[in-house]
Amino acid sequence: MKKNLLMWDESLFQDMEVFEFDFLPGQFDFRETQEQELAFQIQPALRGGRPLNTICRGLPGTGKTTSVRKLFSEIEEHTKKIVPVHINCQIDNTKFAIFSQIFRRISGHKTPASGTSFKQVFDAVCNYLITENVVLLVCLDDANYLMYENEINKVLYTLLRAHESYPGAKIGVITVISDMSVDLMKTVDARVASVFQPTDIYFPPYDEDEIKEILRQRIKQGFYPGVISEGMLTLITEQTMKGGDLRVGIDLLKRAGLNAEKDARRSVERDDVCRAYEVSKYLHLTATIRALQSEERALLRLIAVRSRDEKDMAAGKVHEAVKESSMKLGYTRFYEMVKKFDSMRLINLHYREGRGRTRLITIRYDPDRVIEAIDSC
């Protein structure tokens, strides 16, 4: 066998796990400020008080979940005074489901499949906090999923006013929001707002140099030396920047490595990356579409359908089509949504100089893939 070819039992990967999305990176750069702010929020709980409430805001892939998970693992390692519970609101999106998860974390077992009332679960949770004298810290990750059906108010109200029915119960909340157009404080009732009073922690998008450094760390941990050259890292970084989501870069590394392995090569080549990108680029698309509300999905679908015949569409013309459809959407709301799609990098909103400035909408993905992703939501 040639020297530059892999033997059948050899691998380019030193540790495949570092390319999994739930991998907790040992080195977590460019988020020191946010980590310090989060640590500050929980300080009171270490001294027997209630933690300060927090909203972590930022586009997908900006390290919000990882920052909270790192904080939670430190808490678990160093103190028994705080019980941290991480809730994925995409999965658990009702008050009952969320309290069932909290109960599970506290008791170590699930709530009985049927016949348990919310009151029983809530009772058990609060009584545990009081008798054990511990503080509950709940992270509502992707809390925008609680906005439908007004579940957010029910959940926050129950958590933050628990002490009124159970004196001595101390609960703090960290909400994580990736949808930058959502203003959580405008959504919550006055009864919730008066006890919530959160501190905002903003997670800005990583710039190109930061993405490159983060990917470089993953390469060091995940691959054997020499597998990804500097040139390939630059290419992967550029492709990651197109979608703006770090997950695309991490997935690209894994897929490109697997492509090279399949051909029994010892290093990743341009074609491995380009082939990988054809799959990885849709990660961002699927994740962002899932986070949209149904009205927004309907508008994006309409844009995608029209994009099949016309690449750059005047915003005014698209709004005309909206008016002719079954959607009831005034221009202001329509334009807000379009700006949101632009900030999520689903479309490009740009101007054409000419008679007046025409705003143009160009979809960033293959329209059929967009339609497919929306229809499978």
Query: Can you list the positions of beta strands (E) in 72-198?
Result: 82-88, 135-141, 170-177
Is 66 annotated as contributing to ligand binding?
yes
Give the residue from 87, 73, 76, 80 showing the smallest Cα distance to 23.
73
The DSSP-derived string for 270-328 is HHHHHHHHHHHHHHHHHHHHHTS-HHHHHHHHHHHHHHTT-SEEEHHHHHHHHHHSS--
**Residue 26 CB neighbour total at 10 angstroms:** 9
Q: Amino acid identity of 268?
A: V
Nearer residue to ligand ATP within complex by CB, 31 or 281 = 31
Nearer residue to ligand ATP within complex by CB, 5 or 24 = 24
Is 158 annotated as contributing to ligand binding?
no
Whole-angstrom Cα distance, residue 42 to residue 162? 18
Is 65 annotated as contributing to ligand binding?
yes
Nearer residue to ligand ATP within complex by CB, 116 or 217 = 217
Is 175 annotated as contributing to ligand binding?
no
Task: Supply the minimum distance, in Å, between the C-beta of residue 60 and ligand ATP.
Answer: 3
Task: Supply the minimum distance, in Å, between the C-beta of residue 244 and ligand ATP.
Answer: 11
Task: Supply the minimum distance, in Å, between the C-beta of residue 206 and ligand ATP.
Answer: 7
Whole-angstrom Cα distance, residue 333 to residue 313? 18
Please give the residue ranges that form the binding site for ligand ATP (CB under 6 A). 21, 23, 25, 28-31, 58, 60-66, 178, 203, 214, 246-247, 250, 287
Nearer residue to ligand ATP within complex by CB, 218 or 364 = 218
Is 332 annotated as contributing to ligand binding?
no
Task: Supply the minimum distance, in Å, between the C-beta of residue 142 and ligand ATP.
Answer: 6
Q: Is 286 exposed, middle or buried (0-12, 13-18, 19+ CB in 10 A)?
A: middle
Task: Supply the minimum distance, in Å, between the C-beta of residue 240 and ligand ATP.
Answer: 10
Is 244 annotated as contributing to ligand binding?
no
* Residues that constitute the known binding site for ATP: 62-66, 206, 218
* Residues that constitute the known binding site: 62-66, 206, 218
